[in-house]
Amino acid sequence: MPTLNANGIRIAFDTAGDPKAPPLLLVHGVGMQLTAWPDEFVEGLVELGFYVIRFDNRDCGLSSKFEQAGVPNLMLASIKSKLGWPLRAPYRLDDMAEDTIGVMSALGVARAHVVGMAMGGMIAQILAARYPQRILSLTSIMSSSCRRGLPGPEKKVSKLLARRPANPSDIESVIDHGVMLMRAIGSPSYPTPEKTLRKRVARSVRRGYCPGGVARQMMAIAASGDRCAQLATITAPSLVIHGAADPLVPFACGEDTASRIPGARLEIIEGMGHDLPPQLVERILALIDAHARGKMLPDSTPRLFVKQ
């Protein structure tokens, strides 16, 4: 896997498609490696005529780790956050946004369409606000503005997030735990086949397992606060996609995000949770393609895709 230097750290990356085609940068969520983007999703973007760039965020996969910073106490951080107390973190989302710009610069990409999912959507929002000259379009998927007062994960999901694998030193136990968690946050109307889901989780665990990095990335989100003021400054064409059945980042978060970006288009997908199930890949690709090519007319009314 090739690596590059960006913002003073090592970043593992991968590209697909014709380098002369319009660049499209994928930014993933907490603990999710570049390989977490479904192959059919990446291949679909290439077939649509994009030069696809994906990478491992800091503290994830094969990119630089921040183990020297230790593992933060997320429960204590949650309490402080609810009380409005400041949080100290090894890094913040702004730092991860600088990493992302560094990836673009290292690859000689002046401007790109940016597609971010979950935490990646938050990073993409920061990019669009801080670097308007570098962003051709913004697509924020299953993400949030992180405004205080927005609903959080469902209780059963919160409990699962707090649990550890039965045997953290056994790879099969770690994979079992990952499959259970991904199943819990996945799309209820579009379940990913068990074999496919387990293959994805196993590939991720065997490639780069870093639970400390997951905790530090979650701390970065908590310490960064909300982006309401930044969202109001975004000028890039913006698309917000959210699942109506997301148990981790409720769709109210997507609605809030879209309402704060001038001219943003909100697309709600009925029955979709916090994943990219095979059954929805073609539909989401069509949305991204139309948006990036300026074929979506401005619409202040959220579009609701009903399960077919």
- Each residue of 71-82: pLDDT tens digit? 988 888 877 777
- pTM, full prediction: 0.94
Instruction: Give residue 124's region: left, alpha or beta (phi > 0; psi -120 to 50).
Output: alpha
| Poorest-pLDDT segment among 5-19, 132-146, 156-170, 237-251 | 156-170
- pLDDT tens-digit profile of 97-135? 999 999 999 999 999 999 999 999 999 999 999 999 999
With cut-offs at 50, 70 and 90, classify the pLDDT of residue 308. very low
Q: How many domains does the chain have?
A: 1
Question: Mean pLDDT, the chain, as a whole number?
Answer: 94
Which CATH number does the domain housing residue 117 bear? Answer: 3.40.50.1820
Quote the distance between the C-alpha of residue 21 and its chain's center: 23
Average pLDDT rounded to a whole number, residues 16-38 = 97
Q: Residue 188: its pLDDT value, please?
A: 96
Distances (CA, A) of 106 to 3, 89, 166: 10, 26, 41
Expressed as residue numbers, the domain containing 276 is 3-305
